[in-house]
Amino acid sequence: MDNILISINDLKKIYRVGTQEVRALNGVSLTISKNEYVAIMGPSGSGKSTLMNILGCLDTPTSGNYVLNGTDVSHMDDDALAEIRNKEIGFVFQSFNLLPRYSALHNVGLPLIYAGVPKSERAERSLMALRSVDLENRMDHKPNELSGGQRQRVAVARALVNNPSIILADEPTGNLDSRTSIDIMNVFEDIYQKGNTIIVVTHEEEIARHARRIIRLRDGLVESDKMN
């Protein structure tokens, strides 16, 4: 099907800790279509962080298949994965991950530098991304001159700047108060309405409720997968 963006089949991930085997994923299978808004939930040790790392091409499975936008990325080497990440995935992290010495505009444009985009085009696209999160009036501000919510908006703009296939957000409101959290989730809603695919990994029910589909993991398996 042309509409399927992510297809994972019987995904297993085994870590070795000393002489012990830790089974983080025990055979996860699921598909995510283009323009879906999905929350992945689960208690500590459920495998949700491992699944997020594999979905984000930060790690590879021990066995099983992961096809992202038509490309099997299950067993790629680090360089190939880095290329896929930069092209296909926009990350939003709990801790913002902004470079403190650089302006909002420069922080947003970092993925474009790695992609080899010329400077003039970088500036234009970075400004458009900041505009999409209502932050163009703060483009010259450094992270320490911005509020927590504004920093996360910069991070969202950076995730959008490469026009990725997926926005992957890991506890995106973890460092924000409840009012600012709602503000950021409204930004995600807006991005989703414009046709983007969003995957939010969270342990907070009220954050997951913003998604249209909630996948719950337990003991490395999909416990439930329901439309919200």
Q: In sequence order, which residues have a C-beta less than 8 Å from that of residue 30 and are 6 or more positions away?
A: 6, 8, 215, 222, 225
CATH class in words for 4-227:
alpha beta
- The single residue listed with the structure tokens 């500590």 is 44
Spatial separation of the C-alpha atoms in residues 61 and 59, rounded to whole Å:
7
Cβ contact 29:10 at 8 Å? yes
Q: What's this model's pTM, rounded to 2 decimal places?
A: 0.92
Sign of the alpha-carbon dihedral angle for 193, 57, 161, 206: positive
Per-residue pLDDT of the chain (228 residues; tens, 9 = 90+): 579 999 999 999 999 888 999 999 999 999 999 999 999 999 888 999 999 999 999 999 999 999 999 999 999 999 999 999 988 999 998 888 899 999 999 999 998 988 889 998 999 999 999 998 999 999 999 999 999 999 999 999 999 999 899 999 999 998 888 889 999 999 999 999 999 999 999 989 999 999 999 999 999 999 999 998
> In the chain, what are the domain boundaries?
4-227
Which whole-number Å values give the CA distances from 132 to 17, 54, 111, 126, 143, in the listed order?
A: 44, 28, 17, 10, 18
Spatial separation of the C-alpha atoms in residues 71 and 203, rounded to whole Å:
30
Q: What is the pLDDT of residue 7?
A: 97
Straight-line distance from the first to the last Cα atom of the chain, in angstroms, rounded to the nearest whole number:
23
Q: What is the pLDDT of residue 115?
A: 85
Count of C-beta atoms within a 10 Å radius of residue 157: 29
The phi, psi pair for 74, rounded to 5°, reads -55, -40
Q: What is the pLDDT of residue 95?
A: 85
Q: What is the pLDDT of residue 188?
A: 93
Tens of pLDDT along 86-118? Answer: 889 999 988 888 999 999 999 999 989 888 899
Cβ contact 51:128 at 8 Å? no
Q: What is the pLDDT of residue 175?
A: 87
Spatial separation of the C-alpha atoms in residues 84 and 86, rounded to whole Å:
6
